[in-house]
Structure 1
């Protein structure tokens, strides 16, 4: 029993020593980073927004419903401060995020390609209701300039670059009719309650880029609250995709919390 107690005590002492050493190494790393003007942070938040044409084209007569869905964002970044007073700096990060929305619209002569009951694709111009579901996952890299406005408030702005890891853009049409080929083509009517699906997921663009700007407020010593607006500058669809005749830009507000080391 004494021998077992000695071994247990020794293991506890070794565990405590390892923990103390790890803490000392962590503190040393934080001090070294601080002396070299480096600051590390992890963030978690939500994206709220949608992919939209600017301005709304004449084909979209009204937006009848909108839901932002639940879209998460997790980010790690490092800030390099310059100068003796650390007023200006550069932020480089890596962000895993989802962007999405659901909308219902009333349209007229809206370019569309629906999927028939037999799996055939029918292209033409749709007049009626369109339900759209968009959801995409991205790996994003923001490169931002940051300014220390006060001890508690920072501003940041700059470009971001995103790579699509998975994405869906689909939905259905209802309560209307399709003119095959062109706006004066053969009319295929849909009775009340009839729907036809469409799916443009394979036509989503792999690379996205845009600008973002935001602010960050230090709530406690290590806890920050932030808000950023990210505005995409290229179409979410590939250049060769012509079914939707206007560009759609992802515009999202990202809000959440950050932990600064």
Structure 2
């Protein structure tokens, strides 16, 4: 094959490739996509970094935290779009730890009488958290190819119900502060459910891998930026944030 023929074939291939690319671009039309997401949240309602008052974490376990949502996305380009969703989110966990000089509020039951103490506790602590939110995630969508899909943005959420309770044991509390009366505590309880804020907000990002024509497996990370308790709450001396990863599936309806 001489160089002229080779050059002619190469030119024809380039022109054909360019025509296909032009057709792909011409054929694309901005459109809506609808998805149903379902999975389970794993993570913690946690401080960022371990406070000095928590001396050791003896146990940790996830609560049963399903998540179910709907997402509407609008593709502006073959690879780019925007999305908006609604989701029912359960976020929770449990932990046992040993605390020292830990500001809190506890309730002690002694026969028929009940006493509430606000002060500095040292001993064992067990906490269970399970909050339910109506969540609205939003963000930008990126499709690098047919198999992968990424989103990055944020979320706002409204509390639907809250459970934040636990007990303390094998310790003592300095009633009123570090120099207050020392009261031995064999067992006491606390319930801060009503103190959980009604509104949460943070960052949100997800990655999906297609495993079928319409079905994908996914991971969706939400990182709260707003503490779940107000700054004047006396039951804890550090902020807690909702940081959870949803693992599940996404089904594209159309």
Distance in 2, matches of 1:200 and 1:70, equals: 20
CA offsets, 1:38-76, max 9 Å, x none?
Answer: 100001100001111112110001111000111000000
More moved, 62-71 vs 116-125: 116-125
Distance in 2, matches of 1:242 and 1:115, equals: 14
1:55 corresponds to: 49
2:108 and 2:187 in contact (8 A); partners too: no
Distance in 1, matches of 2:124 and 2:50, equals: 16
Aligned counterparts, 1:6-17, within 5 A: none
CA offsets, 1:120-139, max 9 Å, x none?
Answer: 31111110111001010000
2:30 and 2:76 in contact (8 A); partners too: no
SS, match of residue 170 in structure 1 = strand
Distance in 2, matches of 1:41 and 1:155, equals: 14
Greater percentage in strand: 2
Residue 157 of structure 2 is aligned to residue 154 of structure 1: no
Distance in 2, matches of 1:149 and 1:158, equals: 17
2:188 corresponds to: 196
Distance in 2, matches of 1:212 and 1:119, equals: 43
CA root-mean-square deviation = 1.2
Aligned counterparts, 1:162-241, within 5 A: 162-190=157-185, 194-241=186-233
| Deviation of the 1:238 alpha carbon | 2.5
| Deviation of the 1:224 alpha carbon | 1.0
The number of equivalent residue pairs is 223
Distance in 1, matches of 2:188 and 2:175, equals: 14
SS, match of residue 202 in structure 1 = helix
Provide runs of 4+ in structure 1 moved above 6 Å.
Answer: none
Distance in 1, matches of 2:87 and 2:209, equals: 20
| Deviation of the 1:116 alpha carbon | 2.0
1:123 corresponds to: 118
Q: Runs of 5+ in structure 1 lacking a partner?
A: 1-33
SS, match of residue 178 in structure 1 = strand
Distance in 2, matches of 1:66 and 1:201, equals: 20
SS, match of residue 214 in structure 1 = strand
2:119 and 2:177 in contact (8 A); partners too: yes
More moved, 179-188 vs 138-147: 179-188
Distance in 2, matches of 1:167 and 1:48, equals: 17
CA offsets, 1:68-109, max 9 Å, x none?
Answer: 1110000001110013xx211111000001000110010000
Residue 135 of structure 2 is aligned to residue 143 of structure 1: no
Equivalent in 104, 107, 111 of residue 103 of structure 2: 111
CA offsets, 1:204-233, max 9 Å, x none?
Answer: 000000001120111100111110111000
SS, match of residue 194 in structure 2 = helix
TM-score normalised by the chain length of structure 1: 0.83
